[in-house]
């Protein structure tokens, strides 16, 4: 459907840049407008990839937690905390619906609940029983690899934004 969101953002940018900014004298207001334009630039570049980004993260989380639950089955003497964390991950995975037709914020919300399971499992692995050191290491490695991939995705998302602190 046209105008799509990108058309609208481009229109807002043109209006701010060509109509409003030239007639604003106040330095602070001009700066606020410049920040707004900066944000519009980012939105224009990213709006049609946001769903792909969120879905990619969600799929990765599901795959990672499914693999971790599988590894957890190999534990012979798991701590009570690890058992509870693995069970929580299993329940969260089964509760997460098919997200292909869900709004972006619903996808993000499910991803958040799955990310909380990642944190819980990482904590549980810290106090693993010696008998399960190998399985716990494998779980922690899988989770750590997910966090690294997530970090790479987040960096990629802002790769074209050059700003510094003030």
Partner 1 sequence: MREQLAEYLRAQMPDAHELAVTALERKSGGASRETWEFTARWMRDGQAVEGAFILRRDPTGSLLESDREREFFVLNALHDSGIPVPKMYWLERTGQWLERPFFVMERVPGTAPVGTFPPGYSESVQVRVTEQFIDILARIHRLDWRAYGFDRLGVPGAGVDAARTQVAHWQRIYRQERLEVHPLLERAFAWLAAHAPTSDRTTLVHGDYRSGNYLFTDDGTITAMLDWEMVHLGDPMEDLGWACMPFWSGRGLAVGLTSRSDLLQRYATISGFPVDEQRVFFYEILGTVKMTVIALTGVRTFCTGKTREVSLPLVAFLIPRLLRDIAEYLGW
Q: Where on the chain is the footprint of partner 1 (CB under 8 A)?
A: 26-28, 31-32, 35-36, 38-39, 42, 112, 115-116, 118-119, 122-123, 126, 143-144, 147-148, 150-151, 154-155, 157-158, 161, 163-166
Closest separation in Å from C-beta 127 to partner 1? 11
Tell me whether residue 1 or residue 32 sits nearer to partner 1 (CB atom).
Answer: 32
Q: Which of 33, 34, 37 is closest to 11 using CA atoms?
A: 37
Tell me whether residue 1 or residue 108 sits nearer to partner 1 (CB atom).
Answer: 108
DSSP 160: T
Tell me whether residue 59 or residue 126 sits nearer to partner 1 (CB atom).
Answer: 126
Work out whether the CA dihedral 6, 11, 17, 23 comes out positive or negative.
Answer: negative
Token pair 């990310």 in the structure block, residue: 115
Closest separation in Å from C-beta 55 to partner 1? 16
Tell me whether residue 137 or residue 148 sits nearer to partner 1 (CB atom).
Answer: 148
Closest separation in Å from C-beta 1 to partner 1? 27
The radius of gyration computed from the CA coordinates of the chain, to the nearest angstrom, equals 22
User: What are the phi and psi torsion angles at 35 (to 5°)?
Assistant: -65, -40
Token representation of residue 85:
């964390």
Q: In whole angstroms, what separates CA 52 from the centre of its chain? A: 11
């Amino acid at each position: 459907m046209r105008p799509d969101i990108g058309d609208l953002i481009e229109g807002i940018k043109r209006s701010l840049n060509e109509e409003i900014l030239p007639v604003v004298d106040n330095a602070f207001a001009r700066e606020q407008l410049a920040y707004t334009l900066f944000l519009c630039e980012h939105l224009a570049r990213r709006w049609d990839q946001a769903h792909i980004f969120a879905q990619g993260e969600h799929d990765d989380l599901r795959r990672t937690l499914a693999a971790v639950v599988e590894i957890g089955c190999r534990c012979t003497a798991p701590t009570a905390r690890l058992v509870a964390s693995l069970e929580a991950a299993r329940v969260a995975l089964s509760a997460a619906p098919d997200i292909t037709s869900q709004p972006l914020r619903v996808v993000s919300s499910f991803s958040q609940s799955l990310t909380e399971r990642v944190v819980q499992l990482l904590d549980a692995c810290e106090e693993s029983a010696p008998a399960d050191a190998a399985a716990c290491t494998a779980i922690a490695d899988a989770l750590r690899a997910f966090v690294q991939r997530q970090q790479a995705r987040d960096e990629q998302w802002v790769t074209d934004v050059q700003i510094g602190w003030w």
